[in-house]
Amino acid sequence: MIVKGYKQTGTGFAGQDQESWTGVWGSVHDLTKSFDCADRDYLAPFFRKFFPRPPGKILEGGCGIGKYVAAYKRLGYDIRGVDFSAETIRRVKDFDPDLPIEEGNIVALPYDDHSFDCYYSGGVIEHFEEGPDGPLREARRVLRNGGVLLATVPYVNFLRRMYFSTGLQRRDKNLLLQKCDQCALDSMTPEGFLFSEYSFDVGSVRPFFERNGFAIEESIPTDFLWGEVGMLLVSTARRLTRQNLDHTKSLDHTKSLRDQPSAGVLGGSYGSLRRSWLYDFLVTEDWEHPWFRLPLRALNYLSGHMVMLVARAV
């Protein structure tokens, strides 16, 4: 199943519109905090498992402010990033001139064939209205044979699949979601809306990978805290504690809870949870932990917001 999403004009990122994405990244005010926390979020277990140590080379395509590049470079990985927002790259370079990020387009990367051993692209390839073939084809070009692609896309989880199987569409003031048969440019965009992104289940996204030279080896739903069950839990906790109401109103609902511009998105307890088992379960989603594996898989199958696709260049 494929679900096509639109945002009301001016309310957040829109497809491959550079200006809207520059605005999203510009809302991240504290670069130091973003860089310092990036190796402890829900993607950390994937990066620990799949990022190769030097001499292996890693590329992040669509790196935004470059928080993962900064965090994993600090940990000793040979990693660099590329993003199409020139203003974002300029701002980050002013903050850290030595950070290895540069301006570029992920459908025409400025690198030689077979330059990298691992390619990470988080929440990027779904923003091409014609479909993700272009960025996947270019990812395959720059990856060596046998290299690993880690790509996250919005996930049509069990609850979403049940909802859209009825043929319904979801529409509110700023958001329009509707089921579609294939990725394609609209002959007529809904009035007042711009294309934002696609959501996929694994079956619908697999053909894009296979025809561009990849074999999906693992598909792991993740980020349940931003899915239906997680949002219900967070909302309930906030109502019970009556804390951080002003912060709740300031959340940018175009992004995951872990990508909000300000800190403390978990009811003010984000910092205090760090290094606790609750932090490892809710925030890091450490699915390699033997006690967490089954409940995390169940929660994310039910309401995971994203799915991590681990693909091998063949």
53-56 CB contacts, 8 Å cutoff, 24+ apart = 53/77, 54/78, 56/117, 56/118
Is residue 143 within 8 Å of residue 119, measured between CB atoms? yes
Confidence of residue 241 (pLDDT cuts 50, 70, 90): low
User: Residue 283 — very low, low, confident or very high, per pLDDT cuts 50/70/90?
Assistant: confident
Q: Domain for residue 253, yes or no?
A: no
Q: What value does the mean pLDDT take over residues 159-164?
A: 91
Residues paired with 312 in a beta bridge: 148, 215
* 159 is a domain residue: yes
Q: How confident is the model at residue 266 (pLDDT cuts 50, 70, 90)?
A: very low
Structure tokens at 137: 């084809």
Taking residues 65-71, report their average pLDDT: 97
pLDDT at 243: 53
Lowest model confidence (mean pLDDT) among 106-115, 124-133, 283-292: 283-292
39: helix, strand or coil: helix
Least confident span in 42-46, 51-55, 61-65, 231-235 = 231-235
Is the CB of residue 43 less than 8 Å from the CB of residue 102? Answer: no
Is residue 251 assigned to a domain?
no
User: For residue 108, what is the DSSP state?
Assistant: B
Average of pLDDT values for 3-18? 88
Distance from chain centroid for Cα 166: 27
What φ, ψ does residue 69 adopt, rounded to 5°? -60, -45
User: Residue 52's Cα: distance from chain center in Å?
Assistant: 20
91 in a domain, yes or no? yes
- C-alpha closest to that of 196 among 222, 208, 223, 178: 178
pLDDT, position 188: 81
- The overall pTM is greater than 0.95: no
CATH at residue 212: 3.40.50.150
Beta bridge partners of 120: 60, 150
Residue 141 in domain: yes
**Averaged pLDDT for residues 61-79:** 97
Domain that holds residue 102: 2-224+305-313
**CA atoms of 206 and 235, how far apart (whole Å):** 34
Mean pLDDT of the residues in the chain:
87
The answer to whether the beta carbons of residues 56 and 117 sit under 8 Å apart is yes
Q: Which residue has the higher pLDDT, 266 or 26?
A: 26
d(C-alpha 52, C-alpha 240), whole Å: 44
Q: Flag whether pLDDT at 247 surpasses 50.
A: no
At 270 the pLDDT is 44
Summarised one tens digit per residue, pLDDT across range 81-108 is 999 999 999 999 999 999 999 999 999 9
DSSP string, 77-105: -EEEEEES-HHHHHHHHHH-TTS-EEE-B
Backbone angles phi, psi at 101, to 5 degrees: -125, 155
Average pLDDT over residues 188-204: 92
For residue 267, being part of any structural domain is answered with no
Contact 252, 27 (CB under 8 A): yes
Tokens of 175: 């958001």
Do the domain assignments include residue 270? no
Residue type, 174: N
- Residue 242 confidence (pLDDT): 59
Report the distance separating Cα 128 and Cα 277, nearest Å: 38
Residue 77 within a domain: yes
Place of tokens 């872990």: 258
CA distances from 254 to 154, 260, 285 (A): 12, 9, 21
pLDDT at site 13: 86
Would you say 110 and 82 are in contact if contact means Cβ atoms under 8 Å apart?
yes
8 Å CB contact between 167 and 179: yes
β-bridge pairing 2-8 and 143-154: unpaired
Number of domains in the chain: 1
Look at residue 275 in the predicted model and tell me its pLDDT: 56
